[in-house]
């Protein structure tokens, strides 16, 4: 489990195509604290550490991960929001996330709003009913509050701290992002017999 509070922005150092795709990601995390088999949310998807270097770790992304997320577009130099898995007793500063990306959203508008950025995203229509005003979503692994919803579009604000400490401040219209809908919305949809996608 994760909370959507980003603790490092890493950078893809290498991409290796195998049966799955292996990414080596440079990080400021102390590697002595990270075990092989640890889960790290990498711009949303929960990926498993399979190798470690002095200042990097490697993860494998399956075909399902590549199909559901933007990971297939990652190249050497791509900036990645990182969050280590939640430990019992940790502060829950964002909202509960599984690291299971639901779909890819597209940024369609960006404008300043005070010191913040107002970002408007578009999602595939089958996901629009799972996003609610004042509800929570995770965009590229970042926990955010939805400001408004208009059909399959929704807006969020990104405060200056989040602009500096995540990749969201660099997003431009047309960019694609990983979207994890709220866990409660996912289960409610299942309970009422209307699965999301």
Structural domain boundaries in the chain? 8-84, 103-191
pLDDT tens digits along 40-77: 999 999 999 999 999 999 999 999 999 999 999 999 99
What is the pLDDT at residue 141? 97
Average pLDDT over residues 166-194: 85
Higher pLDDT, 129 or 7: 7
The class of domain 103-191 in CATH terms is mainly beta
Side by side, which strands form the sheet with 153-158? 142-145, 136-139, 176-181, 103-113, 116-122, 153-158, 148-150
Identical fold between 8-84 and 103-191: yes
Per-residue confidence at 129, pLDDT binned at 50, 70, 90?
Answer: confident
CA angle 154, 171, 143 (to 5 degrees): 55
Other residues' Cβ atoms within 10 Å of the Cβ of residue 93: 9
Average pLDDT over residues 32-38: 96
Give the C-alpha distances (Å, rounded to integers) separating 114 from 1, 14, 29: 33, 38, 33
Higher pLDDT, 12 or 93: 12
Give the position of tokens 């399979």.
50
Give dist(CA 5, CA 41) in Å, integer. Answer: 10
What is the pLDDT at residue 103? 95
The class of domain 8-84 in CATH terms is mainly beta
What is the pLDDT at residue 155? 98
Give dist(CA 111, CA 102) in Å, integer. Answer: 26
pLDDT at 93 over 90: no
Average pLDDT over residues 154-174: 97
Beta carbons within 8 Å of 23's beta carbon, 6+ residues apart:
12, 14, 15, 16, 42, 47, 58, 59, 60, 61, 71, 74
What is the pLDDT at residue 193? 63
């Amino acid at each position: 489990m994760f909370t959507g509070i980003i603790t490092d922005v890493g950078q893809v150092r290498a991409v290796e195509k195998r049966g799955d795709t292996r990414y080596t990601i440079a990080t400021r995390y102390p590697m002595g604290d990270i075990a092989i088999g640890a889960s790290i949310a990498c711009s949303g998807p929960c990926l498993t550490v399979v190798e470690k270097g002095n200042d990097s770790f490697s993860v494998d992304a399956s075909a399902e991960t590549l199909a559901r997320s933007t990971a297939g577009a990652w190249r050497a130099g791509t900036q990645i929001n990182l969050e280590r898995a939640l430990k019992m007793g940790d502060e829950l500063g964002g909202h509960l996330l599984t690291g299971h990306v639901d779909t890819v959203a597209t940024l369609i508008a960006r404008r300043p709003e005070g010191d913040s950025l107002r970002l408007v995203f578009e999602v595939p229509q089958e996901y629009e009913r799972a996003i609610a005003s004042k509800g929570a979503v995770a965009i590229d692994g970042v926990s955010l509050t939805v400001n408004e919803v208009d059909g399959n579009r929704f807006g969020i604000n990104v405060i200056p701290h989040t602009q500096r400490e995540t990749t969201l401040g660099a997003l431009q219209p047309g960019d694609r992002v990983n979207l994890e809908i709220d866990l409660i919305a996912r289960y409610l949809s299942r309970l009422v017999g209307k699965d999301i996608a």
